[in-house]
Structure 1
Amino acid sequence: MSAKSGAGTYAPFASSDYRLLWSGTCLYFLAFVISMVAQAVIAYDLTGKNSAVGLVALCSGISLTIGSPIGGVLADRVDKRRLLVLSQLAIAALFVIVGTLMLSDLLTVALLAGMALLINLCSCVIMPARQAWSPATLPPEQAGDGAALQALAVTLMGLIGPFIGGLIIAVPFLGLGGAYLTLAGFMLVTVLLVLRTRAASPRPAAQAKPLADLQLGLIHVFTQPRLAVLMLSFYGVILAGSSYAVLLPGFIEDRLGRDASDVTWLMTMSGLGGLVSTGLVSLLPSSRQTTTLLAVGGMIMGVGLALVGGASSFGIAMAFMLVVGIGMGMVQLLNTALIMREAEPQYYGRVMSLVMLGWGINGVAALGLGLLADGIGAGRTLAVMGAVAVMIAAAMWAALRGLGARGEPTVRAQSTLSS
């Protein structure tokens, strides 16, 4: 795929329907990220154990792991508008329940874990449905740019979500319970945006059996070597690098003597680092070294995690979290956009569901990481995760280099999404 001009990349925003869909994606994923941060803080506050945070993340991961492939098939088969309205209303209701229980001092880890499972089960259909609906709001020649911009929305909200979440949680009259009620309001706005979208929700002319659809999606991804490597490396980096959120509440309380809720400041630094990396990538000249940048990003993230694990003060940990965010921002910005550019439009829903599956795998591993942190310490666990992230990034670079650069977008084509 060749490089495109900035105007060409942004062309989908000329469509009012696409703008509504994209805005809803931003708001939904912002709420998703903030809820993940908030539930980690709540779980640690309730028990004082990393394993409790891991248990809640495990429930999130199980629902995403099992539900994401099914959600992708549904997104490519059924009415997207109805699917989005119902699933987003359900999440809004669940956020209200969690917030009310928190404010009433009735929330337990078991209830939080159950709510996390249900919330993420509903989430399994949202991003695939949004990605599958995107081409219907655009001319055919803009479908690839539309998919990449949707992926960009997910990346940016993942970067700034912890910062915004920290601000919401820090409001004295809101706290964690009020934060969940605020997130419910976000979800209601996403419903209104969907209802205002006029583009028809596409349906396939002929539908195979659901399992056959799922099989076709997997075949599409894993019979294309570049797409397969990008997807598998995304899983690996997410597993090794993004699970740190489970460990941070206990790490800063036990190792650094800070309240677990101060984790939002560390996540804020990570988000700022992600925004820095987005800006740096946008300043690079046109180049076909996208895979090298991906690998460098993964290595920066891994080294940053190891340094955080060895930090002796909260200020030093915040500085190293900036490094983690820079690396994570590079990985998420480039890898997710590359995946969607490599995929064919008719498979967007299923491909996005496989991307979401990565976050599910991340959650499934969280309990094991929490138990490991309770055994050897969160600092040592972070160091191990960082080393694994570096090795995965190096393996990804070697594999993609071996496959050659055929069809690889230039850095400029990707960076225009973030400028």
Structure 2
Amino acid sequence: MLREMRFGALKGAPLTTSDPNDDGGAGQARPQVAPPRPEPDAAERRFRTFDSLIDVPAFRWYMLSQVGNQSAQLMQMVVRGFLAYQLTGSFAALGLVELAAAGPRVFLALYGGVVADRASRRVIIQVGQLLNATLAAVLAALLFADMLHFGHLIVGSLVTGVLNSFIMPARQSMIPEIVGTQRVMNAFALNAFGMNMLRLGAPALAGFLIATVGSGWVFALMAGLYVFAMATLFQVPKTNAASRAAAAGGAAARPTGHGHAPSRSGMREIKQALVYLRGQPILVTLLVLHCLIGMLALPYQRLLPGFVDEVLSGGHPDRTAILMGLLLSFTAVGALAGSLLIASLPSRNRGKLLIASLVIFAIGLFAFSASTTFWLSAGIVIVLGVGQAGRQSLIQILIQSYVSDEYRGRISSIIVLEDGIESLGIFFIALLAQAFGPQLALGAVAITLGSLAAWMWSTRSIRELQ
């Protein structure tokens, strides 16, 4: 009999106990139903790496749209930097182009976040992609007519900066909306993996096209890719603030914890987000780190045209374009490994992982700054890519994990605003490269990043982030 009872309990059968103090029972057995064992989730049933792609069809369409969008962005980074350096021969010009692209975000990004929290994020992205396609087509026409000047690159960068002030907050806050909060780490890591896959081919293709058929065809291809990205995004469901609030049980439609009802005033909503941040010290720390790390890490790619031209290619323009594209592709090999690793990991010890990624990036960047041969540099940037994927993915994942959904668009806009501030760092590091050479400039940046990683490890609140 005892054996049968034990067997029944193991099978999940109701358990019974006798409570002598129960007035209504008088020694009778009172049934207590054991809590049902939860069904194993997707991460327990199979290898977790591709959960978001397998389980969420809309995320597959989002990623396909990203193929077009990110391919165009990566090609733009190559062709715009190449043209700026070839037209001027100046590292300062490279920094100025980046400053023009990022400057509008400083003034418009916060309002872009308000728009992302109010309106359909999908529509915001699609309108921006259509306008980006138009801009790429105009620059292609100027190149085909042999009328492009450095000033056109500055104007084009300013327009791109204005558009990205609205596109980027919408795009970053759209991923949790599509996959849900439980898959945020996996989805962001897969998004980084997809971008790094594109880095294997898109920059090299841009360099090849520049060397063989000219920069105009790169911009023409970019225009087509933006149109493709806009069209495929139609398969992702359209939402707005009301539908997102309904899906979340109306939380976003209720007054906030700070006593403010949602307002149609953009400035009021920005103020509400800043008040919200004041009570979120972890988020503030993560946003500051995002800005500092980006300010120091981004110059590696932005100064690559000048570095390759002066250090690795011997000043041959066609060889510079090809080697630059190849180096970005080799960086992507390491970044692929890093992003797949992040996608496979559980959601814990993310503070330590972020610090480790930053250390790997700093070591890789220091070694790269000292290299003067292409194939040694190619091997080094693979290691650098691992660190790059980790630090980019993890800082975004941590921010999105700690932010409330009703403020997600506005907090994402602060990230975009910081991207604009980061370009000031790129500009000043470009001036350092102009004065002392690119190797010394990048070496100094690597040492600074390593020092920042040491401070982060010594700070328990950062090290113990989960």
**TM-score with structure 1 setting the length:** 0.85
Distance (Å, rounded) in 2 between the aligned partners of 1:324 and 1:106:
38
1:176 to 194, 215, 228: 215
Partners of 1:160 and 1:63 lie apart in 2 by 29
Which structure 2 residue ranges, 5 or more long, are not aligned? 1-40, 243-251, 254-261
**Cα contact 1:22–1:150 (8 A) shared by 2:** no
1:9-408 counterparts in 2 under 5 A? Answer: 10=51, 14-134=55-175, 137=178, 143-145=180-182, 147-148=184-185, 151-152=188-189, 154-169=191-206, 170-171=208-209, 174-203=213-242, 205=253, 206-256=262-312, 257=314, 259-261=319-321, 262-281=323-342, 288-399=348-459, 401-402=460-461, 405=464, 408=466
Q: Which piece of structure 1 moves more, 307-316 or 144-153?
A: 144-153
Q: Greater CA deviation, 377-386 or 144-153?
A: 144-153
Identity %: 23
- C-alpha contact 1:50 1:246 (8 A) present in aligned 2: no
- What displacement does 1:82 show? 3.6
Query: Is contact 1:56-1:113 (8 Å) kept?
Result: yes
1:130-179 alpha-carbon deviations (Å, 9 max, x no partner): 34455665xxxx52145545533552355344432233221466543212
Match of 1:417 in 2: none
Q: Report which stretch shifted further, 11-20 or 173-182.
A: 11-20
Summarize the Cα distance change of 1:255–1:16 in structure 2 as closer, same or farther, 3 Å threshold.
closer
Q: Which runs of 5+ in 1 are unaligned?
A: 409-419
Measured after TM superposition, the shift of residue 271 of structure 1 is 1.2
CA 315–228 in structure 1, closer or farther in 2 if over 3 Å, else same: same
Shift of 1:274: 0.8
Cα distance change on mapping 1:274 and 1:180 into 2, 3 Å:
same
**Change beyond 3 A, Cα 1:339–1:136:** closer
* Equivalent position to 1:5, from 25, 34, 43: 43
Quote the Cα distance in structure 1 between the aligned partners of 2:280 and 2:53: 27
Query: What root-mean-square deviation, in Å, do the aligned CA atoms of Structure 1 and Structure 2 show?
Result: 2.8
Q: Which amino acid aligns with 2:181?
A: G
What is the alpha-carbon distance in structure 1 between the residues aligned to residue 362 and residue 392 of structure 2?
A: 14
Partners of 1:377 and 1:384 lie apart in 2 by 11
> Contact (CA 8 Å) 1:136, 1:202: kept in 2 or not?
no
Inter-partner Cα distance in structure 2 for 1:161 and 1:220: 37
What's the TM-score once normalised by structure 2's chain length? 0.77
Q: Deviations over 1:295-327 (max 9, x none)?
A: 111111112111111112122222222221111
User: How many angstroms apart in 2 are the aligned matches of 1:383 and 1:362?
Assistant: 18
Kindly tell me: are residues 355 and 15 of structure 1, through their superposed partners in 2, closer, same or farther at Cα, counting changes over 3 Å?
A: same
Cα deviation, residue 382, structure 1: 0.4
For residues 271 and 436 of structure 2, the distance between their equivalents in structure 1, rounded to whole angstroms, comes to: 41
Conserved 8 A contact 1:144-1:345: no
Equivalent-residue separation in structure 1 for 2:53 and 2:377 (angstroms):
40
Q: Secondary structure at the match of 1:93?
A: helix
Q: Contact 1:297/1:331 (CA < 8 Å) preserved in 2?
A: yes
Residue 239 (structure 1) shift = 0.9
89-98 vs 165-174, which moves further: 165-174
User: Counterpart of 1:411?
Assistant: none
Q: 2:204 touches 2:326 (CA, 8 Å); kept in 1? A: no
Separation (CA, whole Å) in 1 of partners of 2:462 and 2:423: 31
Q: Which moved more, 1:27-36 or 1:344-353?
A: 27-36
Amino acid at match of 2:219: Y
Distance 1:275 1:228 in 2: 29
Q: Which residue of 1 aligns with 2:9?
A: none
CA displacement 1:213-242 (0-9 Å, x = unmatched)? 122223434532222222211211111112
Deviation at 1:246, TM superposition (A): 2.4
Q: How many angstroms apart in 2 are the aligned matches of 1:247 and 1:135?
A: 33
- Is this contact kept in 1: 2:196–2:332, CA < 8 A? yes
